[in-house]
């Protein structure tokens, strides 16, 4: 897929990409943000990992077998995909395209590897990196989830260090110390992005052309 799949028209919604290390609280922040911004559309990812307690098919993820996921890759039905800690994650393409064309903002809550794929295909997106207050706090959050063994925790922490080094590839960095504060910062970013002149320039030119024709 090429960048031509999407346009930078003012009538289209914004593609917001929220990512960061595992355990930083992406899901918690994204959920709280959606409660504050009811018109913000969450793009449900597909994954091959097993559901965690309380997760619902089609709400938290589309749970796929590895065979089903590989078929989605082969038929170009994913905006991005990544293998993370032994499992596959990806963003269904058609839903994102349709929602942006309808003028609604879409937020992707994805891993760093996937975010870098999206940036290559859709650089005009808004890329947000969610930071932990410290690496020690990040490790505590992963341990307290109680879903990973020691080896998995060690692997995730090593990967987290590598991911944080990619911060310069993002537009914004938001520290998730308090969920409420992190959400307020992201809301401010979204508001500012909608006011960027390059996002409304095409509409202004259209207005000017209409004025010139009428005169």
Q: What is the pLDDT of residues 6-47, one digit of tens each?
A: 555 667 899 999 999 988 999 999 999 999 999 999 998 899
DSSP H or E run through 33? helix 26-36
Per-residue model confidence (pLDDT) at position 35 = 95
- Rounded CA-CA distance 80/77 in Å is 9
pLDDT digits (tens, 9 = 90+) for 155-195: 888 888 899 999 999 999 999 999 999 999 999 999 999 98
Per-residue model confidence (pLDDT) at position 4 = 44
195 or 48: which leads in pLDDT = 48
The model's pTM = 0.78
- Rounded CA-CA distance 30/61 in Å is 14
Domains of the chain: 3-43+105-214 (3.40.50.300)
Stretch 112-130: mean pLDDT: 92
Q: What percent of the chain has pLDDT over 90?
A: 56
């Amino acid at each position: 897929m090429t960048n031509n799949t999407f346009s930078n028209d003012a009538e289209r919604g914004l593609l917001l990409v929220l990512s960061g290390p595992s355990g930083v609280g992406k899901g918690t922040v994204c959920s709280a943000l959606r409660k504050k911004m009811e018109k913000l559309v969450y793009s449900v990812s597909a994954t091959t990992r097993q559901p965690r307690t309380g997760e619902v098919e089609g709400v938290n993820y589309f749970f796929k077998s590895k065979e089903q996921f590989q078929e989605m890759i082969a038929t170009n039905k994913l905006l991005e995909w990544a293998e993370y800690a032994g499992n596959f994650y990806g963003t269904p393409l058609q839903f994102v395209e349709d929602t942006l064309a309808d003028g609604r903002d879409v937020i992707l809550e994805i891993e760093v590897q996937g975010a870098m794929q999206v940036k290559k295909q859709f650089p005009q997106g808004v890329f947000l990196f969610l930071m932990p207050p410290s690496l020690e706090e990040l490790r505590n959050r992963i341990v307290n989830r109680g879903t990973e063994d020691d080896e998995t925790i060690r692997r995730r922490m090593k990967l987290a260090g590598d991911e944080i080094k990619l911060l310069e590839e993002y537009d914004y960095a938001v520290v998730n110390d308090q969920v409420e504060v992190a959400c307020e910062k992201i809301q401010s970013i979204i508001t500012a992005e909608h006011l960027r002149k390059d996002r409304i320039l095409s509409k202004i030119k259209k207005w000017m052309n209409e004025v010139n024709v009428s005169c």
